[in-house]
Structure 1
Amino acid sequence: MTLRLAVGQHSEAGRKPLNQDFHGVAQPTDAQRRSRGIALAIADGISSSPVSQIASAAAVRGFLEDYYGTSEAWTVRRAAHCVLSATNGWLHAESQRGEGRFDKDRGHVCTFSALVFKGREVHLLHVGDTRVYRVHANALEQLSQDHRVRLYGGQTYLGRALGINAHLDIDHASWPVEVGDTFLLATDGAYEFLDADAVQEALTTHGADLQTAAKALVAAALARGSEDNVTIMLVRVESLPTRTAPPVNRDELRLPPRLAPRQQFEGYRIVRELQQTARSQVVMAVDTDGREWALKLPTAELAGNARELDRFASEEWVARRVDSPHVIKAASAETKREHLFTAVEFIHGQTLAQWMTDHPRPGLDEVRSLAEQIGRGLQALHRKEMLHQDLRPENLMLDRQGTVILIDLASAHVAGLSEGLGDARALELAGTLQYTAPEYFTGDGGTPVAELFSLAVLVYQMLTGALPYGLQVPHVRGDRDLHKLQYVPLRTRRPDLPEWLDRVLRKALQPQAARRQQALSEFLHDLHAPGPEFMTRDRTPLQQRHPLLFWRGLTVAFGVATVVLIGLRISGR
């Protein structure tokens, strides 16, 4: 099943010489419908402005066109906010060049509402006093909030609208939808003269013909005395997708055979096998231009595993949308394929795991350089609302020039793809447990701050060869367990390192996410230029700073006391 909507829309100037309302529905391709949904929008220009019809038309057209040009990895909220902020900036600039510079009521100003249906959810974007309702059997449920400020004496004015100010504050909300749900979008010239009975009468009389129903409601509003422009949009959900569709339609691709050296496969010549597991085969191959690639192929073992096959389908898609020297690059999607596999650049070098074996006690500067490069790769993902989710030494490559590259994007969480079919948060335990932040185990899910924790684990491990909490973190099951985690101080393993470094890492490795640095950039800055909070002498109790040393000392003290007491007792006899 796919997302399908029935839409009816109609607008008339009414008794006014000019229609300053505008409305529209996007006609996305099948691929756009899967990744970005279906958008519809309505705008109402303010009657005091001679140019507000330009504003309302630009707002609707710009949104419906530019929204589908945003990254497929972005959430609806981020994509819509970027598009509307750009539109608002243009409208405000136009106002500043005209009469609106001195009188906002004569500028390029309009109210705006949009619905974006994506997956099994609907998203509302709203600013001003156009309205959006969910239609029930005997009532209209208003979903939008009017941004009108009421003055003493009953007068009102628009508190928020597109084009009024350089900064835009737009409402966003989302709800799950069901087949049959019906929504109404209307300008004030319509909704002030209509009620639930009128809407139900139009829907009942015209049945599935929403276009005729919209025309009937416009006519009803005008007949009841509306002297303003009147615009009505009706939308009904006709079908919904049953599950998240992967970015690549893997159902059209066959599982590949096992490959051997010198074999020809999909335009590649296989050179040698790099890795073989029960779930995948990785081989080195060269294309017709002599470029080297690493091909990753699912085995027959995954034939019935839809989740794992979807990961194969999305890994290249993720890599193509991130442009960073610290993230693996994928082959282009120009050639049509017959089999399901991924092709990424072949990197001559070594994994971070091998580097740590070769450098058991590295210097701080070396580790900081590596951490900064890993952080840049993660930041490139985070800017696209993606999480790597499997940060570990085996998934980091150092090439011959010393550049660190994030590889294996199969576990990446893409907010824009997860959105629309339930919770868009990264809740799945997708990575290696000992590098995973505690919030995954408590059910709170992943964020960029969770990846900061994973990076801090790597920094600690590069410096000491050990894990800061050992194997304690995977045993966390709730918030109460977080307090039981015992951090092993860095200087108990590397006393040659500065005390401030231990404090920086201790903060980044806090079990509670809110107590860590709140951005990767902040953590990386602290590694190079620690602030006063890390340079002051640590007054944390010894039991917390050095639990092993504390308990050893306590045991020795008890032992000495016991010997003394026994000696006193013997001498007293």
Structure 2
Amino acid sequence: MTDRLTLSIGQHTDAGRKAVNQDFHGSHVPREPLLSVKGAALAVADGIGSSDVSHIASETAVAAFLEDYYCTSDAWSVKTSVERVLAATNSWLYAQTQQGQGRYDKDRGYVCTLSAMVIKSNTAYLFHVGDTRICRVHAGGHTAALEPLTVEHRVWVSPGQSYLARALGVDAHLEIDYRTVTLHAGDLFMLASDGVHEYVNAAEVHEALSAGANLDEAARLLVARALANGSADNLTVQLVRVESLQAHEAGELLQQMAELPFPPQFEPRSEFDGYRIMRTLHGSSRSHLYLALDLASGEPVAIKAPSIDLRDDPAYLERFLMEEWIARRIVSPHVCEPVVHERPRSYVYLVTEYIEGMTLAQWLRDRGRPDLDAARDIVGQVAKGLRAFHRLEMLHQDIRPENVMIDRTGTAKIIDFGSASVAGVREMAPSAGDEGFTLTGAALYAAPEYFLGEPGTVRSDIFSLGVLAYHMLTGQLPYGVQIPQAKTRAAQRKLVYTPAREHDPAIPAWVDAAIEKAVAIDPGKRHEDVDEFVFDLHRPNRAFLDRTRPALIERSPLAFWKGVSFVLLMALVVDLALRR
């Protein structure tokens, strides 16, 4: 495996026997580091012959996909990025359809089919709607074969009559087929409109590949063969061969500082790279945190240096470097901000804003348990920081009092992204985000699914936030110290939530119920997002009211019997009317 992804691409399109070519295709292979972060993209779109504007739909779909995909957050997964881009494109096409003749006849609207592929690291991500097709080509003489990787969304009403069941621009809602394919060097794929894939077979594809001087020539030969075989439609084909794959750990994203040496243990008044160390803020076996002065700006900053004892641990270095990458992408007043300077670095280290204040752990030791309003305020601020993570498909995965700073204005800020998980980076380095939950401090706040070896979700961060709220209000933990010890589903089913009201009867029952839901052992029973949890901390939710609200006869016997009397009276009136 080499240190970079390399592809060979060939493509050709032709109107064929039609006057207008309603197909459209395109591809883009960006330079590094974008190639590692977002991958290469290809797409083929096919218009429908009954529409005079379908070629506009095809061109718009492909152009928007190739342009807008690279504008999405590089923290998003490929699936999220592409689906949001295609949903936006579909909305625009559907709006145009509704404003024209297609409003009453969709076959005359801004409608097209689309097959798209993103190749990132050593995975191909396929997206498909309509009757274009993506195939894997197994070319090898007598063993030549075309392996369809997509299924046409076409309904046949008779041997010679069919209609599209799905396409872009037909409906406000778009359903997209999605799948992933693991890649190997030498893999060859074909994206084609139905004017090609319905008129060529595996042997003819192999023949074109053998006869063509390159993939562009092979694509032209395939279009010519489809025409010769009787295709009366527009013809478009793309061929892409994977020449070499990128090693998971080779992305420029994660190695931009990896060649630098680990720093020594800095002493006060020492200077390097335009910084002067003032004092040590915190030290552990994994990292050292210093207060430093930026000599150029005169501003205080915090410098985090990795432990030299872990210099031979590549996984640790990768996670350390990821912290700055994550910090640069999150914008929130409740998340510690990075300090970005273009000065050359002599060592591996991270620079962030200096937060003048204390950790929530120290705040609780100094002030004791906060009242309900103060606790809700801190939880709400931490939730806003987590929301900034979740919007970028990131998980913090280590919310606990030691990782929340309270500054002198009372603002809570999330710090330490060493355990964070990023969907877009996991696609490049699947091992990223799998470690970091065995530390003593983190384990008591970590969601139980981590101890089953399962990946985290948004609800895992909600669990940690719920434990944080419980601890602030009670000084205890909802399951004691049992969570890290329950490493099977059977053991976790035996865990019992201790109501917060047992520690402090002044806590409202509905607040206790909200926290109990947030820290449910089963992730499916927790809140869906942090905003829902914060909302439930401020007012009783409907489920709680329905569960605890007394019956009307208990709350107001007079109103109950008045209601019963009125119903009986109306029944009597109806009965008398029927007797007449």
| 1:94-493 correspondence to structure 2 within 5 Å | 94-136=96-138, 137-151=143-157, 154-206=160-212, 209-244=214-249, 245=251, 246-287=253-294, 288-332=296-340, 334-420=342-428, 422=430, 429=437, 432-493=442-503
**Aligned partners of 2:468 and 2:136: how far apart in 1?**
50
Q: Which residue of structure 2 lines up, in the alignment, with residue 71 of structure 1?
A: 73
**Pair 114,205 (structure 1): closer, same or farther in 2 beyond 3 Å:** same
Q: RMSD of the alignment, in Å?
A: 2.1
Q: Deviations over 1:112-163 (max 9, x none)?
A: 1111011111100111111011122432121112112333575222222122
Contact 1:377 1:406 in 2 (8 A): yes
Contact 1:427 1:446 in 2 (8 A): no
Q: Which residue of structure 2 lines up, in the alignment, with residue 564 of structure 1?
A: none
**Pair 88,533 (structure 1): closer, same or farther in 2 beyond 3 Å:** closer
**Aligned partners of 1:533 and 1:196: how far apart in 2?**
59
Aligned residue identity for 2:204: A
Q: Shift of residue 344 of structure 1?
A: 0.7
Q: Which residue of structure 2 lines up, in the alignment, with residue 531 of structure 1?
A: 541
**Pair 234,428 (structure 1): closer, same or farther in 2 beyond 3 Å:** farther
TM-score (normalizing by structure 1):
0.89
Aligned residue identity for 2:125: H
Q: Shift of residue 248 of structure 1?
A: 4.8
Q: Which residue of structure 1 lines up, in the alignment, with residue 559 of structure 2?
A: none
What's the secondary structure of 2:330's corresponding residue?
coil
**Pair 344,422 (structure 1): closer, same or farther in 2 beyond 3 Å:** closer
Count of paired positions: 538
**How high is the sequence identity, in percent, across the aligned residues?**
48
Q: Shift of residue 512 of structure 1?
A: 1.1
**Aligned partners of 1:434 and 1:261: how far apart in 2?**
35
**Aligned partners of 1:360 and 1:474: how far apart in 2?**
26
**Pair 278,497 (structure 1): closer, same or farther in 2 beyond 3 Å:** closer
Contact 1:112 1:162 in 2 (8 A): yes
**Aligned partners of 1:110 and 1:418: how far apart in 2?**
33
**Aligned partners of 2:528 and 2:133: how far apart in 1?**
37
Q: Shift of residue 419 of structure 1?
A: 1.3
**Aligned partners of 2:307 and 2:412: how far apart in 1?**
29
TM-score (normalizing by structure 2):
0.88
Residue 30, structure 1, aligned to residue 32, structure 2: yes
In structure 2, runs of 5+ residues without a counterpart are 550-580
**Pair 466,5 (structure 1): closer, same or farther in 2 beyond 3 Å:** same
Of stretches 216-225 and 358-367 in structure 1, the one that deviates more from structure 2 is 358-367
What's the secondary structure of 2:444's corresponding residue?
helix
Of stretches 309-318 and 410-419 in structure 1, the one that deviates more from structure 2 is 309-318
Aligned residue identity for 2:300: E
Q: Which residue of structure 2 lines up, in the alignment, with residue 543 of structure 1?
A: none
Contact 1:266 1:337 in 2 (8 A): yes
**Aligned partners of 2:105 and 2:548: how far apart in 1?**
59
What's the secondary structure of 2:33's corresponding residue?
helix
Q: Deviations over 1:282-322 (max 9, x none)?
A: 11112211222100012321221111111221111111111
Contact 1:427 1:444 in 2 (8 A): no
Q: Which residue of structure 2 lines up, in the alignment, with residue 559 of structure 1?
A: none
Q: Shift of residue 422 of structure 1?
A: 4.8
Aligned residue identity for 2:200: L
Contact 1:396 1:404 in 2 (8 A): yes
Q: Shift of residue 478 of structure 1?
A: 1.6
**Pair 39,89 (structure 1): closer, same or farther in 2 beyond 3 Å:** same
Of stretches 446-455 and 304-313 in structure 1, the one that deviates more from structure 2 is 304-313
What's the secondary structure of 2:345's corresponding residue?
coil
Q: Deviations over 1:335-383 (max 9, x none)?
A: 4434221111100111100111123232111111111111111111000
| 1:487-502 correspondence to structure 2 within 5 Å | 487-502=497-512
**Pair 153,211 (structure 1): closer, same or farther in 2 beyond 3 Å:** closer
Contact 1:74 1:385 in 2 (8 A): yes
Q: Shift of residue 17 of structure 1?
A: 2.1
**Aligned partners of 1:397 and 1:321: how far apart in 2?**
20
What's the secondary structure of 1:41's corresponding residue?
strand
What's the secondary structure of 2:358's corresponding residue?
strand
Q: Which residue of structure 2 lines up, in the alignment, with residue 83 of structure 1?
A: 85
Contact 1:427 1:440 in 2 (8 A): no
Q: Shift of residue 57 of structure 1?
A: 1.6
What's the secondary structure of 1:329's corresponding residue?
coil
